[in-house]
């Protein structure tokens, strides 16, 4: 799908402060990087970075297609506001493929409101790396290898040590809000799941220097993840489902009330973050509400027909199914016409747009002359939770079918899986 050329000479290597990878490995990796610079928004203002003190690791909170689009072209919001791209230097896909978004000499708009050890606006002095995925989902082995190689090279170029490598969640800070009375950590959860050792890095700082100096309030969750006596860096939490312990703030950070954050209630209702205060109230969001980040398209595109969900408009199999994406009871209907269950899916970001899925189902059970819908589903054959896949690809619930005697040969039945 990509027509971009492969970059052949990206760095002039200076002596590295570490030797985690061989020169051959580094050279081979550099030759494999996809040059995505021609896709950079021409409206992006290029400013040369005066110094480089940090390497900041992010998780994109999106799949590959939308990540590449956003970081290179920019964001388009429903209220008409837009950005002009240049939001990172590199993107690393879940299969390890690495994309160069812009020259490393330019300032990328990736860190936002940030502070580390008293220094602010870290975009001006750092390299940004986006790992495709979510802060509440595991990072892949191939991503760890690629980001390890990339960081090893960059450390050599800029003569940095391992402590110069930080995550966005460590450096971002927010202004006072309903959860914090003062400036505070926790504005972003980005790359909270990044395990340094798996990228060949040594330990991070033993403390947050800005919290210790009193410049910022600590975020309890992040302090536990990065600096606690029993730090749980990389632990995958409750994901993007609201619960008593997993609040909107812990999932979305400062974007909790953003127009680009969407809350999907268990009953199917949709609200953007800026609608919750007046429409529902933050203390009344029901448990098991799904929180979707970086949703810039119309809410209509997120509405699903009953249990059938569609991968489109920034949604991925993970954002729709979470940890269930690779379970046998998650069924995928690919645009090609093929049907696969989750156990046949190697990664949630490999599925094409317009793939439909249903979660918590078993099947397919084909309707035949000697095997009617009633014989397959019993008295529940007309139930709204019983789904029928009709040639050439329509999916209907049992309560929407008027005449079962006219079901075509090849109709497939899917039944709710037993809990």
**221: exposed, middle or buried (C-beta count within 10 Å: 0-12, 13-18, 19+)?**
buried
Model confidence at 320: pLDDT above 90: no
What digits encode the pLDDT tens for the residues 55-102? 999 999 999 999 999 999 998 765 667 889 999 999 999 999 999 999
Q: How confident is the model at residue 340 (pLDDT cuts 50, 70, 90)?
A: very high
Res. 313: pLDDT tops 80: no
* SS3 per residue for the chain: CCCCCECCCCCCCCCCCCCCCCHHHHHHHHHHCEECHHHCCCCCCCCECCCCCEEEEEECCECHHHHHHHHHHCCECCCCCECCCCCCCEEECCCCCEEECCCCCECCCCCCCEEECCEECHHHHEEEEEECECCCCCCCHHHHHHHHHHHHHHHHHHCCCHHHEEEHHHHEEECCCCCCCCCEECCCCCCCCCCHHHHCCCCCCCCCHHHHCCCCECCHHHHHHHHCCCCCCCCCCCCCECCCCCCHHHHHHHHHHCCCCEEECCCCCEEEHHHHHHHCCHHHCCCCCEEECCCCCCHHHHCCECCEEECCCCCCHHHHHHHHHHCCCEEEECCCCCEEEHHHCCCHHHCCCCCEEEECEEEEEECECCECHHHHHHHHHHCCCCEEEECCCEEEEHHHCCCHHHCCCCCEEEEECCC
* CB of 350 closer than 8 Å to CB of 311: no
- Tell me the per-residue pLDDT of 358-377, one tens digit each, with 9 for 90 and over: 999 999 999 998 899 999 99
If you average pLDDT over residues 331-357, what whole number do you get? Answer: 96
pLDDT surpasses 90 at 20: no
Query: pLDDT tier at 312 (50, 70, 90 boundaries)?
Result: confident
Confidence of residue 8 (pLDDT cuts 50, 70, 90): very low
pLDDT digit string, tens, across residues 237-266 = 567 889 888 888 888 888 899 888 999 898
Provide the residue ranges of all domains of the chain, joining segments of one domain with +. Answer: 23-227, 249-303
Average pLDDT, the chain: 89
Q: What CATH homologous superfamily does 23-227 map to?
A: Peptidoglycan recognition protein-like (3.40.80.10)
More confident residue, 236 or 286: 286
**Is pLDDT above 50 for 30?**
yes
CB proximity list for 34: less than 8 A, separation 6 or greater: 2, 4, 5, 6, 7, 97, 98, 99, 100
Instruction: Look at residue 6 in the predicted model and tell me its pLDDT.
Output: 32
Q: Which pLDDT score, from 0 to 100, does residue 9 have?
A: 34
Band of residue 234 on the pLDDT scale cut at 50, 70, 90: low
CA 237 to chain CA centroid, nearest Å? 14
- Ramachandran angles phi, psi of 258, nearest 5°: -80, 150
- Cβ-contact 332, 356 below 8 angstroms: yes
């Amino acid at each position: 799908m990509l027509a971009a050329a492969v970059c052949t000479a990206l760095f002039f290597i200076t002596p590295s402060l570490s030797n985690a990878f061989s020169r051959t490995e580094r050279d081979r990796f550099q030759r494999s990087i996809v040059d995505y610079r021609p896709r950079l928004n021409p409206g992006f203002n290029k400013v040369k970075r005066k110094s480089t003190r940090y390497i900041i690791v992010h998780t994109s909170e999106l799949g590959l297609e939308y990540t590449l689009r956003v970081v290179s072209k920019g964001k388009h919001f429903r209220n008409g506001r837009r950005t002009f791209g240049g939001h990172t230097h590199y993107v690393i896909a879940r299969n390890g493929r690495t994309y160069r978004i812009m020259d490393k000499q330019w300032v990328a708009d990736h860190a936002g409101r940030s502070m580390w050890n008293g220094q602010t606006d870290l975009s001006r002095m750092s390299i940004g790396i986006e790992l495709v995925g979510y802060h509440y989902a595991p990072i892949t082995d191939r991503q760890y290898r690629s980001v390890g190689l990339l960081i090893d090279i960059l450390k050599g170029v800029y003569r940095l040590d391992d402590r110069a490598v930080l995550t966005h969640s460590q450096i971002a800070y927010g202004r006072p809000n309903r959860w914090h009375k003062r400036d505070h950590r926790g504005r972003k959860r980005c790359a909270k799941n990044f395990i340094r050792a798996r990228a060949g890095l040594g330990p991070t700082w033993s403390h947050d220097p800005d919290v210790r100096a009193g410049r910022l309030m600590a975020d309890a969750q992040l302090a536990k993840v990065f600096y606690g006596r029993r730090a749980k860096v990389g632990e995958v939490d409750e994901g993007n489902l609201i619960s008593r312990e997993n609040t909107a703030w812990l999932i979305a950070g400062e974007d909790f009330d953003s127009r680009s954050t969407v809350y999907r209630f268990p009953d199917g209702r949709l609200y953007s973050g800026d609608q919750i205060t007046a429409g529902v109230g933050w203390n009344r969001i029901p448990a098991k509400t799904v929180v979707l980040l970086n949703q810039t398209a119309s809410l209509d595109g997120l509405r699903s027909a009953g249990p059938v969900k569609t991968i489109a408009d920034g949604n991925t199999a993970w954002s729709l199914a979470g940890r269930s994406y690779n379970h046998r009871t998650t069924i995928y209907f690919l645009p090609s016409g093929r049907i696969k269950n989750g156990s046949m899916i190697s990664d949630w970001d490999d599925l094409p747009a317009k793939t439909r899925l249903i979660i918590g189902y078993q099947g397919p059970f084909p309707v035949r002359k000697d095997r009617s819908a009633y014989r397959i589903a019993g008295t529940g054959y007309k139930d709204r939770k019983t789904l029928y896949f009709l040639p050439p690809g329509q999916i209907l619930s049992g309560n929407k079918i008027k005449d079962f005697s006219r079901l075509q040969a090849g109709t497939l039945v899917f039944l709710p899986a037993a809990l």
